[in-house]
Amino acid sequence: MFSETPIGQPRIRRILERIRTSGRLPHALLFWGPEGTGKTSAAIELARSLHCDRGETGACGECAPCGRTGTLGHADFNVIVPAMRKTKDAELRRVAEEAVSDPYGYPMPDEGTSVVVERLREAVKEFTLGSFEGGWRTMVFLDAHRIRPESANILLKTLEEPPEQSLMILTAPAPERLLPTIVSRCQALAFPPVSRTELKAHLTSLTSVSETVAEYAADASGGSLRRAIALTGEDVAGLQARASRFLEALVTGREAHTFLALEQLASDKQEVFDVLQAAEIWLADTLRFRQRGEAAFAPEAPRIQTLRELSSLFDEKLIDTAAREIERIRDMSLRNINLQVSLVSMWRTLQRAV
Ligand SMILES: [Zn+2]
């Protein structure tokens, strides 16, 4: 239902409802924005609502057509996911089914996957035939930026001459990732990062998530609900401890020891970003601790102890330098600069600033 989907995006939910009830749906929509902002969830919900017996406010999830779209068993509803060429059809279908049932948790396609041209041709051909059941024909195309340019023509023809009563929804991180000829034929809707308040509210509504973990995950997810949910399953206390040790080592560690630790850290890219993210939150909290004291924090002994230690090592200026360095590493990593070099450079900069 649009009253719940996509999670934490009230403005998008209102727009979807307006699109759905306007009676003048475009033939093609492009939902774009960062990962975890609800594009998949929204695309699937809107498409399913068109097949639903009472879909004005979203897919009811209870009628017979909803039952069939919910398991990808509806002849007029299709979800396309990118895959490796060798991926079997059954596996592909399983991933698409998971995307429908768990849009924030289904396995994201690996880098290097694309939409195999034969599969694209087949799906588009079926789509152009229009509805089998006499209603809407819908197709949701997840990560459409992974279509190879040479296959894009197949899609382009259909976008130019869509069948009657049909809707195609594409999702992508940004319009620039698609060919302009495709973008120009879609009505685009931008999905912003989910706000911290919305993230925290959703996470705390999940019974298994504690307040502390919800807070950390909301802070560290960068507005991605997918990431935030994944973070709640991780050892948050362990990650926070690794991040505070990382910060301490940068300013007090023994030369050889710190170098080895950075070298080891750099070998795991995801761990680097997790640690940097957690370190960034420590720095923000340390600043708050220095300015407003212990009263600004809930009385959780272990965290307060770490903040005491960090604020004895990091003054305002050093906090600022460290935060800038973290930002710089993130920027550099987008340009594929060696992570170990970046981390060592951060360490040297902080050493000079101490
Ligand atoms: Zn329904």
Mind listing the pLDDT tens digit for each residue in 272-292?
998 999 999 999 999 999 999
Contact (CB, 8 A) for 228 and 218? yes
3-state secondary structure of 222: coil
Whether residue 177 sits in one domain with residue 248: no
What pLDDT, on the 0 to 100 scale, is given for residue 23? 81
Judge whether 224 lies within some domain: no
Range of the domain at 125: 10-192
239 found inside a domain = yes
Q: How many angstroms is it from 18 CA to the middle of ligand 1?
A: 18
Q: How far apart are CA 115 and CA 147, in angstroms?
A: 5
Q: Same domain, yes or no, for 54 and 142?
A: yes
Q: Looking at the structure, do residues 184 and 243 belong to the same domain, yes or no? A: no
**pLDDT grade for 300, boundaries at 50, 70 and 90:** low
Q: Which of 160, 192, 224 is the last residue of a domain?
A: 192
Sheet holding 137-141: strands in order across?
77-80, 137-141, 166-172, 28-32, 187-190
How many CA within 13 A on the CB side of residue 330? Answer: 14
What is the Å distance from ligand 1's center to 46 Cα? 12
pLDDT at 207: 75
CA of 3 from ligand 1 middle (Å) equals: 14
- Looking at the fold, whether 260 and 154 belong to one and the same domain comes out as no
Q: Does one domain contain both 160 and 35?
A: yes
Does some domain include residue 168? yes
* Mean pLDDT computed over 221-240: 90
Residue 331 domain-assigned?
yes
Distance CA 104, CA 352 (A): 43
Q: Which of 168, 192, 216 is a domain's end point?
A: 192
SS3 129: coil
In a domain, 100, yes or no: yes
Q: Are residues 188 and 296 in the same domain?
A: no
The Å distance, Cα 61 to ligand 1 centre, comes to 5
Output the pLDDT for position 301.
65
- Cα angle 153, 155, 156 (rounded to 5 degrees) comes to 60
Residues 188 and 239 in one domain: no
Which residues, in sequence order, are bridge partners of residue 50?
Answer: none
Q: Could you give the CA distance from residue 57 to residue 3 in angstroms, rounded to a whole number?
A: 7
d(CA 266, CA 212): 28
Listed in sequence order, the DSSP H helices in 196-335 are: 196-205, 211-220, 225-232, 236-252, 255-266, 269-292, 301-313, 316-334
Q: What is the mean pLDDT of residues 17-22?
A: 93
Burial class (CB in 10 A: 0-12, 13-18, 19+), 86: exposed
**Separation of CA 1 and ligand 1 centre (Å):** 9
Provide the number of structural domains found in the chain: 2
Average pLDDT of span 60-86: 95
Q: How far is the CA of 71 from the centre of ligand 1 (A)?
A: 13
Q: Residue 345 burial (CB < 10 Å; 0-12/13-18/19+)?
A: middle
192, 225, 244 — which closes off a domain? Answer: 192
Distance 69 CA to ligand 1 centre (A): 9
**pLDDT confidence of residue 245:** 94
- The alpha carbon dihedral of 69, 74, 77, 81 has a sign of positive
Q: What is the mean pLDDT of residues 225-241?
A: 90
- One domain for residues 160 and 307: no
Does residue 133 sit in the same domain as residue 268? no
For ligand 1, the distance from its centroid to the CA atom of residue 85, given in whole angstroms, is 34
Question: Which of 43-57, 149-163, 227-241 ranks highest by mean pLDDT?
Answer: 43-57
Residues 127 and 247 in one domain: no
Ligand 1 centroid to 2 CA: how many Å? 13
- Neighbouring residues of 157: CB distance < 8 A, sequence distance ≥ 6: 124
Given this model, what pLDDT does residue 208 score? 81
Instruction: Flag whether 33 is in a domain.
Output: yes
CATH number at residue 150: 3.40.50.300
Percent of the chain topping pLDDT 90: 73
Q: Are residues 147 and 56 in the same domain?
A: yes
For ligand 1, the distance from its centroid to the CA atom of residue 76, given in whole angstroms, is 14
**106 C-alpha to center of ligand 1: Å?**
22
In angstroms, what is the span from residue 59 Cα to ligand 1's centroid? 5
**pLDDT value of position 108:** 85
Task: Report whether pLDDT(333) > 80.
Answer: no
CATH number at residue 259: 1.20.272
Q: How far is the CA of 279 from the centre of ligand 1 (A)?
A: 46
* Statement to judge: residues 150 and 75 lie in one domain: yes
Residue 163: per-residue pLDDT: 94
Distance 67 CA to ligand 1 centre (A): 7
In the block, which residue shows the tokens 């923000």?
284
Residue 47 confidence (pLDDT) above 80: yes
303 compared with 285, residue with greater pLDDT? 285
At position 59, the amino acid (one-letter code) is A
Residues 189-230 have pLDDT tens digits of 999 999 999 999 999 998 788 888 898 899 889 899 999 998
Residue 115 pLDDT > 90, yes or no?
A: no
CA of 92 to the centre of ligand 1 (A): 25
Ligand 1 midpoint to CA 192 (Å): 28
Average per-residue pLDDT in the chain?
92
pLDDT of amino acid 275:
94
Statement: residue 296 has pLDDT above 90: no
Confidence at residue 243, expressed as pLDDT on a 0 to 100 scale: 95
